[in-house]
Structure 1
Amino acid sequence: HRLGRAGSYREARAVVAREGSALWRRAVDRVQGRGPARGDLSRDDDRPLYWARLGMTRELRTWEPGFGLGERQRAALLTELERTSRGQADLRLPPGGHDEGTGKGMKRVLLTGFDPFTLDRDIRISNPSGAVALALDGTVIDTPDGPARVETAVFPVRWRDFAEGAVERALRPYLPRVDLFTTVSQGRVGRFDVERTNGAWRGGFPDNENVSRTETVPVTDPTSQPQWTTTTLPYAAITAADTGRFPVYDNTTVTEIPAGGGTEPVVRPDGPTPGSTAREGGGGNYLSNEIAYRATLLRDRLGLHGTLPGGHVHTPVLQFGDRNTDPATGAVTDPGFVRNRLDIVAQTRAIVAVAVSAAGPDRG
């Protein structure tokens, strides 16, 4: 294979970057109907990308080239594969400007999704946010306020990558250039949520490496770190619009330790009280909340709070069909499962269209 022909670390890195990007492009093309579908799964499925990446990372971990590969170099190759095969090196925003016929500019939207997770519980698991990212990458959505070009990437469900700054590294170059961003993940059964508030707390649920972290979200310059960040997505417009079959909620609930020296967490349906310490944002205290916290904190640290709409959307849980719920005996897909995923993807696309329209003039 191509990696075996690499005669140096530099050549190996180039091969890994090229192959990682090609894997992402093939996954996007498959979902969007270009090229051969290959295999038995419907085109909308996000899992082939995840499974293929796992095979590539396993190969890279055990590769012993003739030129000798140090552990630090191997780690760098793995990082490059992770980054490129998730679309993080493939974010191609169009220039701003106005359409001469309508006077309306091409809006630019950045959207992120996640890998499947909790595979130990059900190895068949899919993540609708990953399916959304593959379905929307590079597409143009027509909105009442003009066209919007969407660029997407996915992120791993791993505490380690987030602590190492993967989210900020991927998003920092693009937030000043987009008109709207949204992080997306799988949330609650039967509903979408626009999460109003994000919290600076990791609640310890095990990640895809079975690692648990219970601590304040680790960021650069922690002395200026807020306990809470807020959405700037147009949540009222999103929840009022008819975007699909699932209800969409403006979720204002958080869990906090109130100011004044207490230690017991308190649920606040209407958001945090002054001086409180975060224990759960609207999106909980797992990596969904954390990507939302990091992306919105980055927005604020870049001075964009007042001008850039952005935040987190939780999709419904992607459920298998009624007769296919047992992981031990169930089929890897079924018609109800596919329909649920297609409906979630279509409704997320509609939510993005509403958000772009409600957010106002483009920043080009």
Structure 2
Amino acid sequence: MDTSVQPSYEEQRLPNKLSSSDASSFSAQLLQASGFDRFGPDFASTLCTNGMAGASSYDQAVTLLRTEGTKLWQAALDRVQGRKVQGTLPKSDDRMLYWARLTMTLVLRQWKPDFPLSDDQRAALQNEFERASRGQYAIDFPEGPKYKRILVSGFDPFTLGTPGVDGNPNIRIGNPSGATILSLDGNTVALADGSTAVIRTFILPVNYGPFILGMQEDTLGAWFKPGMKRADASVSMSQGGGEFDLEHFNGRYHLASIPGNDNVWPACADGGSFPSSLDCDIHPPERWLGYASKPWVMNSPPQFTESTLPFQKMIDANTGAGVTNWDNPQKPTTGWAVVRRDSYSTRACFKGAVGPFDQSCASTGGGGNYLSNASAYRNTLLRDVFKLQIPAGHIHTPVMTAFGSGSDGKITDATFEGRRDSIVAQARNLVIALANSLVAAPAP
């Protein structure tokens, strides 16, 4: 190991403490309380055993990293779904996957293998591990018409504070979309027509770079292609408001007011932040889009895509029944409202634009112009590229950032846990409502 290699911006949060007087960092406390503190040290031992590198070639390293990443993903599923729960945190906690992954990417960054490794190869190995640890290689479906295959993506925690600065309680934030998909992966739903819905899930990073490189399309594309395992529905999910919003329109523009977890925005501002400039607009990879979207053309791909989720069926499914709404002081057991959100906005496409057409580029979709909107746009655009007539769209859950008063020094509390469990319960119900909408119409 070469410990002189500096951690990434995200990895530099690993030492952050909730209080400067704490004996351990927040990440160390959380990983110990979830039983995931073993993953970083075990990974280091796997990569370097008795002074020998764990792989003797690049191809062996790819295989090794996929295996180790999948182990982390499976352990997160096993914990959240109650098969193997260690530590004192409730099984529903999603945060251990994110923080354990960072301990492992730091080890990988500092790894000195016994074979030559270019910068591009090292970056590719990091990507292999990222994808494996996010469940993107673990997806599989049964074949044939007896099954309805549903894909659901969630996100990492984000807005976690500045690396190296102690005392910011935001470092404790989780993401209910991540908690939801960890609870859903592998679940099945018996449908009224005798078929079975099978749900498979994966996690996306809150960083622009992997999206620009095509991580989401590379994950979805295999299941959008023709074949006996083709997806019957695809949902992206994130947190973002005070209700459950079913986003109607998704915009191509993706320059938000905050950077990713890695403190990086897409190249955009230097071009005046106009959609036509640099990477202000989304440019999906040519290998999936079927054509090069650069140089920029206004509607290639389109400025907006549209959800095909069964809005009214999901709204009418009474998904909040029995779910505590933590935003209401009375805490009624009716859950949160489920709303079709039709909002969007446009802007000038380029400097000096005049007339209605040149000023009709996407600025925001219903979910804004951050990575949640980007995931929704990419998901629904790929649906259209493959000409799929399937439900595809985005669910915004209520946010999960609130802790009880006086708990700034604690890694969890009853308010945070109760809120997470309620949001996850209703989010699961929404996915099940989507599954039930896939029932085949009776023959005439």
**TM class by shorter-chain length?**
0.7 to 0.9
AA at the equivalent of 2:118: G
Who is 1:118 aligned against?
A: 159
Is 2:291 the counterpart of 1:239? no
Q: Residues 236, 57 of structure 1: CA spacing in aligned structure 2 closer, same or farther, 3 A cutoff?
A: same
- The letter of the residue matching 1:278 is A
Other-structure match for 2:304:
228
Q: SS of 1:173's equivalent?
A: helix
1:202–1:285 CA contact under 8 A, matched in 2: yes
Q: Give the 5 Å matches for 1:207-356.
A: 207-213=260-266, 214=268, 215-219=280-284, 220=286, 221-222=292-293, 223=297, 224-244=300-320, 245-257=335-347, 276-304=360-388, 307-323=389-405, 329-356=408-435
Shift of 1:237: 1.4
Cα separation, partners in 2 of 1:263 and 1:250, compared to 1, 3 Å: farther
User: Is the contact made by 1:233 and 1:359 (CA closer than 8 Å) also made in structure 2?
Assistant: no
Supply the distance in 2 between the matched residues of 1:80 and 1:332 (Cα, whole angstroms): 30
Contact 1:143 1:354 in 2 (8 A): no
In the alignment, the residues of structure 1 paired with residue 60 and residue 97 of structure 2 have an alpha-carbon distance, to the nearest angstrom, of 24
Partner residue, 1:199: 251
Unaligned ranges ≥5, structure 2 = 1-44, 49-53, 162-167, 269-279, 287-291, 321-334
Q: What is aligned with 1:57?
A: 105
What is the TM-score of this pair, normalised by structure 1? 0.88
* SS across alignment from 1:336: helix
Question: 1:44 Cα deviation (Å)?
Answer: 0.7
- Asked if the contact 1:257–1:263 (Cα under 8 Å) also holds between the matched residues in 2, the reply is no
Q: Distance in 2 between matches of 1:11 and 1:160?
A: 26
CA shift, 1:324, in A, is 5.0
Give the secondary structure class of the aligned counterpart of 1:312.
strand
Q: 1:12 aligns with which of 61, 78, 82?
A: 61
Name which of structure 1's ranges 172-181 and 111-120 shifts more when overlaid on structure 2.
Answer: 172-181
Shift of 1:274: 11
SS of the residue corresponding to residue 437 of structure 2 reads helix
The amino acid of 2:55's aligned partner reads A
Distance 2:98 2:401 in 1: 18
Amino acid at match of 1:296: T
The alpha carbon displacement at 1:67 in A equals 2.6
Q: CA deviation at 1:321?
A: 3.3
Give the AA of the match of 2:159.
Answer: T
The DSSP-based 3-state class of the residue aligned with 2:150 is: strand
Which amino acid in structure 1 is aligned with residue 112 of structure 2? E
- Say whether residues 1:182 and 2:235 are aligned partners: yes
Deviation by residue 1:230-263 (Cα, 9 ceiling, x = unmatched)? 0000012112221010111100011112799987
Indicate how the Cα distance of structure 1 residues 274 and 76 shifts in structure 2: closer, same or farther if over 3 A, else same: closer
Partner of 2:129: 81
**Counterpart-to-counterpart distance in 1, 2:385 and 2:398:** 30
Q: What is the RMSD of the two structures over their aligned residues, measured on CA atoms? A: 2.3
2:119 maps to which residue?
Answer: 71
Q: Taking structure 1 as reference, are residues 14 and 341 closer, same or farther at Cα in structure 2, changes over 3 Å only? A: same
Q: What amino acid is the match of 2:101?
A: R
Tell me the CA shift for residue 218 of structure 1: 2.0
Give the strand-richer structure, 1 or 2: 1
Counterpart position of 1:270: none
* 1:91-170 → structure 2 map (5 Å cutoff): 91-97=139-145, 105-120=146-161, 122-144=170-192, 146-170=195-219
Cα offset for 1:109? Answer: 0.6
In 2, are the aligned partners of 1:159 and 1:211 still within 8 Å (CA)?
Answer: yes
The alpha-carbon deviation at position 356 of structure 1 amounts to 2.2
Cα pair distance change 1:260/1:64, threshold 3 Å: closer
Equivalent position of 1:27 in the other structure: 76
**Cα distance change, pair 358–59 in 1 and its aligned pair in 2 (3 A):** same
- Conservation of the 8 A alpha-carbon contact between 1:106 and 1:149: yes
The 1:8/1:351 distance shift into structure 2, 3 A limit, reads same
Separation in structure 2 between the aligned mates of residue 13 and residue 359 of structure 1, nearest angstrom: 38
- Distance apart, 1:202 and its partner CA: 1.1
For residues 288 and 350 of structure 1, the distance between their equivalents in structure 2, rounded to whole angstroms, comes to 20
SS in 2 for 1:198: strand
Moved more, 124-133 or 314-323: 314-323
Aligned equivalents of 2:336, 2:92: Cα separation in 1: 19
Q: Are the counterparts in 2 of residues 320 and 333 from structure 1 also a CA contact under 8 Å?
A: no
How high is the sequence identity, in percent, across the aligned residues? Answer: 42
